[in-house]
Structure 1
Amino acid sequence: MAENGHFFVRRPQLVLVVDRALKGQTLSVTLAQPDGDWVILGTRSVSTGKPGRKEHFKTPVGVLLNDGSELGYRAQGTYNENHIRGLGVKGMRVWDFGWQTSDDWRTPGATMQVRVEMHATDPAVLAARLGRADSEGCIRLPEAVNRFLDRHGIIDADIEKLGETDNGYRALLSPYLTPTALAGVAVIVVDTSEPWAKPYPPATTLSLSG
């Protein structure tokens, strides 16, 4: 999937591998190495897109880069009309991967542009549903995982670099940031229940820190 997305690992770095498999959806913090096997360091349940309802689409497979082309933001902790905090409690990080191409379940063979983000979810209402397809197309994280990824800059290598000269990027980073030297830039979405699934073009581009 990394090769299909033109993402080539030139230095050891952490990559988030999200499996959208129907019978158990996970995020694995993975050490990607240019010469050698990739090593899974830890795995937690997440949720990805569940097609079949209005504005609900399958999260596309492929490489999602946190390269600064979309800044991302932080949750306000506000409730929607169903009294649900869709992005989690106030201050939770939202990683924005921009518009991506996914299957349009309403028309066989058709595709759809969907906005893909990665964020926490309501701890009181939706957290118990993690591990199965449940979102509109975004990747939903447990609150503890959101905090861990944010505090250690797991996929923030490019954001940190941009933040050296740009206050907007610097402000996005956690005030408690203790960055890892293995910070990477990528989320790779796979589907072990549909190993034939391929990403749609256009392919992703190389990042500053790839």
Structure 2
Amino acid sequence: MPLPPEPPEPNLAQRTGMSPAGAYAMRQNFANEVDRRLTVPVADQQAYGRSLQRALDEDGHGDLANEFVVLVDRSANVQAALVYFRAKPGDAWSMIGASPVSTGRPGTYDHFVTPLGVFQHVPGNMDFRAEGTLNEFKIRGYGARDMRIYDFGWADGERGWGKGGKSPMRFQMHATDPEKLEPLLGMRHSKGCVRIPSTLNTFFDHHGILDAQYEARAEEGESMWVLKATRKTTPWAGHYLVVIDTGRKARPAWAPGPGKAVRAHIPAGADTVD
């Protein structure tokens, strides 16, 4: 069963009233460090910001501000993660960057539709790191060694097989095999988790984009072994991953799926990993 939500600990910027200029400057870090990026038109950036606000309102977090939030559109015609920030409640959300992802593809046993909602990133569901080992199909399901697996605990997922319905699934966000599966990002292909590019995983990890709660525990003296000593956690570290489904009927030009050549060479066993 899902754990009761932990009271969110304020990040450094929220505690000290820092100027938000550094948070908006993270756009340049994203551009420099993430190699799979989507160029989202301003109108769509704004529309997604409004969708993010609606989801937060519905979950009782409508005043959230001064921290980063990761938004995922699980729509089959989008498959994107977008990082957002705003300085104050009532401000419009501003996009920091966007990348292609893969979410749950129904139709096969043990494949869930990625759950919708607002998911808090807490140490009670401790993250871990990929071992980089190959499965029987020579696929690294969690990506290269040392990639971080963001664990959001148990969620009620819609079964994508049989008669449907819901049952508990372990909901995670993680990298995937860099050679065999990362080229498939942009289409539904996971067992229910959110697959992200390896460089986006490293960006989240190094800057602590969702690590407000982890850093709070570390400051209290707890051993947060998953946090690297070399990290440079942003003062605007966030707490939440938000999943929506815009249900777009056509694929926008800014969110292309993998090309025919890539789809034609999907490796054997690709659907056996998260």
Same-fold status (TM-score > 0.5):
yes
Match of residue 105 from structure 1: 160
- Aligned partner of 1:52 among 94, 107, 124: 107
The structure whose residues are more often helix, as a share, is 2
- Aligned partner of 1:114 among 163, 169, 179: 169
- Aligned partner of 1:65 among 112, 120, 142: 120
CA contact (8 A) 1:77 1:89 kept: yes
Task: Please give the alpha-carbon distance, in whole angstroms, between the structure 2 residues aligned to 1:175 and 1:46.
Answer: 28
Which residue identity lines up with residue 65 of structure 1 in the other structure? Q
The count of aligned residue pairs is 194
With CA pairs under 8 Å and 6+ residues apart, which has the higher RCO, 1 or 2? 1
Max radius of gyration: which structure? 2
- Aligned partner of 1:30 among 84, 89, 102: 84
Residue 85 (str. 1) matches residue 136 (str. 2): no
Which residue identity lines up with residue 137 of structure 1 in the other structure? G
Task: Please give the alpha-carbon distance, in whole angstroms, between the structure 1 residues aligned to 2:242 and 2:141.
Answer: 23
- Aligned partner of 2:69 among 7, 12, 15: 15
Match of residue 226 from structure 2: 172
- Aligned partner of 2:242 among 182, 188, 193: 188
**CA-to-partner distance for each residue in 1:177-202, whole Å, 9 max, x for gaps?**
111111101100011117xxxxxxxx
CA contact (8 A) 2:71 2:244 kept: yes
How far residue 10 of structure 1 moved from its aligned partner, in angstroms, is 4.1
Task: Please give the alpha-carbon distance, in whole angstroms, between the structure 2 residues aligned to 1:88 and 1:167.
Answer: 28
Which TM-score applies when normalising by structure 2? 0.67
Gaps of 5+ in 1: 195-210
The structure whose residues are more often strand, as a share, is 1
Task: Please give the alpha-carbon distance, in whole angstroms, between the structure 1 residues aligned to 2:106 and 2:221.
Answer: 38
Task: Please give the alpha-carbon distance, in whole angstroms, between the structure 2 residues aligned to 1:59 and 1:81.
Answer: 25
Match of residue 201 from structure 1: none
SS at match of 1:115: strand
SS at match of 2:204: helix
How high is the sequence identity, in percent, across the aligned residues?
Answer: 36
Residue 5 (str. 1) matches residue 5 (str. 2): no
CA contact (8 A) 1:7 1:63 kept: no
Task: Please give the alpha-carbon distance, in whole angstroms, between the structure 1 residues aligned to 2:161 and 2:179.
Answer: 32
Which residue identity lines up with residue 238 of structure 2 in the other structure? G
**Structure 2 CA distance for partners of 1:10 and 1:21, relative to 1, 3 Å:** closer
Task: Please give the alpha-carbon distance, in whole angstroms, between the structure 1 residues aligned to 2:102 and 2:160.
Answer: 18
How far residue 141 of structure 1 moved from its aligned partner, in angstroms, is 0.8
